[in-house]
Structure 1
């Protein structure tokens, strides 16, 4: 189990959160359909650090970006999700 430090509520158990996706799988409305599908389903899944979008579903319901190591599952940082976090 992960202990996630919510930017609004403090440390909470992973069960309170829902994982949504990684930042590199987001698509823009103006993207062509083929490019959008490729971004959603045909992206690389590398080892190492990645930015993931999570929601505090059973808490403040806030969205956040977790920087997490995919191999060790260590959470390196947590920040609120805002326009500056989007690619």
Structure 2
């Protein structure tokens, strides 16, 4: 499965910037759908964050998905890779 990687940066309430990638099947191109996946992920956090829009989230590249990523996408439609300041 080929996936689109959406590079995302969101400001946390403490001022730090969260960096995470939203991974979706490459055929999902509707930005609002992708932003909604990111918002769902942010709701799982115990802290507040700023908004998630096209200013914070952009398509980065397309790559081949691993089995773990494919499994997550099949279950919930997306996969998150936490990069920086996500906890």
Which structure features the higher share of helix residues? 2
- TM-score using structure 2 length: 0.28
Greater RCO, 1 or 2 (C-alpha within 8 Å, sep 6+): 2
Q: TM-score, normalised by structure 1?
A: 0.28
